[in-house]
Amino acid sequence: MDQKERRILIVEDVSADAELTERELRRQGVLFKALCVKTKDDFVKALAEFLPDIILCDFKLPSFDGYAALALKNAVCPSLPLIIVSGAIGEESAVDLLKRGAADYVLKDRLFRLGAAVTRALEDAENKIMREKAEEALRRSEAAYRTIFESANDAMVIEDLSTYDIVDANGKASEMFGYSRSEIAGLPLASLNAAQTRESLKKIKEYYAQASRGDPQLFEWLVKDKEGREFWVEIHIKRAMIGGKECVLSTARDITERRKLLAQKDNFLDMVSHELRTPLCIVKEGVALISDGGIVPLDESGKEIIQITKKNIDRLARFIDEVLELQRLNAGKSQVRLIRNDMNALIKDVCRDMTPLAAKKGLRLIYTLADDLPKITFDKDKIVHVLTNLVGNAIKFTEKGTLLITSQRGENFVRVAVSDTGAGIKAGDMTQLFQRFSQVGKKTGGSGLGLAIAKEFIEMHRGKIGAESEFGKGSTFFFILPIKERRVSLIKKGPAS
């Protein structure tokens, strides 16, 4: 029984019957405050001032009856429940009153039903109010949505949840695809797909299937308009409730020009990088010959200048390599070649190769490896690249102390970490660590691409890379690779076409 106090308006001309009604309600556990009225005027006044939650009304009164009370109530507050409580009422009258909006009727010789009838009527009234509010909110929401739908600058298309056939589209979509609003409605999804291959359409439908299950998707799609003109769109699809019906909502934006500009940029960077490589190799070989003293003898000053030159040539070569690798990643052309490898052996190799560099700065480079580390499947070249980058950064940003490489086995993963005793990283800089062209802390002249590429390589293995640091006390960079993984595809995915 609801323990909220209710305001009950009792319409009864016999005081003893009113008292009996109140007593029976209290006996049945109803918590309420009651007001009893006998006339039509008092009834109307009570509706305005007493503000009842429910009305219990006798069917026959000297000045008016249940029909009149029901009509007055419906005119003033139609959602307010009214129960007829009568000594005698014919079945025909009872049914008629229920049709006109009475919540229930209870005979006076069966007042044991009254408590349950009151509770049920109150619950029904509250549920009705909540439903009406929800429906009104839905109407307003749909009206607002329709306004956004029609005025959006992007093409918006509504598709059937199961067939993905187009149900509706806004003006921008009609303009983009060259169909009238009536023509585009009912078109199958395949009619917009420019690459008419089974594999291409299958890939698109997989995106839609995931979206229809509640997992929003964002991808690039080569589409065609009514005249067959092909163009690229960036499309976001999600499951939505529109007009009280579940559907798929697609928002598309023409990115043809953007893709052309990106292609031009990529071609330019690719050309520049390759054009730089050839003369750089020649310069590097020439400097190496001079450095060996085979052409002209060098004094100490000359040797120092040659060493500085070699260092900067190596730095430029690394930058070019990183730019080219980034281009391959952007184009989806960077692949992982998976074979079973020994992670501890790889760590030892990297440690051996990097020890001379650490020693030049007076740093110790050591490792602590887990004995129970199993062989796992990964691309050795890419993981060497990642670990070399982490160790190189640790050397670069540490002035004194020890660098430690560790391996650790988890429940279904291998964790490799590189810890240093350097300056550490400020908390506000942590989010920038793996962003492209981003450098934090002391600027050392790098490209800002090393950690971004490392992150891409690790994620291609379905792994994770991260960092922990306390400013002034050093940092730990780590990556995690799965021991067993259901890999659907370890090739960097390109756009749908």
Among residues 350, 383, 335, the alpha carbon closest in space to that of 482 is found at 383
Q: Do residues 383 and 457 make contact, with C-beta atoms less than 8 angstroms apart? A: yes
Residues in the chain: 497
* Ordered per-residue pLDDT tens for the chain, 497 residues: 456 889 999 999 889 999 999 999 999 888 999 999 999 999 999 999 999 999 999 988 888 888 999 999 888 888 899 999 988 788 788 888 888 889 898 898 888 989 889 989 988 888 888 877 776 766 676 676 777 778 888 999 999 988 889 999 998 999 999 999 889 988 998 889 887 778 888 888 899 999 988 899 999 999 999 999 999 999 999 998 876 788 899 999 999 888 887 777 777 766 766 677 777 777 777 777 787 766 777 777 877 888 888 777 777 777 777 767 776 676 666 777 889 999 999 999 999 999 999 999 999 999 999 998 999 999 998 999 999 999 999 998 898 999 999 999 988 899 999 999 988 888 878 878 887 766 665 555 556 678 888 998 999 898 999 999 988 888 999 999 998 754 433 333 344 44
CA distance linking residue 235 with residue 189, whole number of Å: 13
63-68 long-range contacts (CB < 8 A, ≥24 apart) are: 63/38, 63/39, 64/39, 64/40, 66/97, 66/102, 67/97, 67/100, 68/40
For 100, phi then psi, to 5°, come to -80, -5
Residue 7 has a CB neighbour count (10 Å cut-off) of: 14
**Half-sphere exposure in the Cβ direction for 63 (13 Å, CA):** 12
54 burial type by CB count under 10 A (0-12 exposed, 13-18 middle, 19+ buried): buried
Indicate the SS3 state at residue 327. helix
Residue with tokens 């979206």: 211
Locate 488 and state its tokens: 């659907």
CB of 87 closer than 8 Å to CB of 108? yes
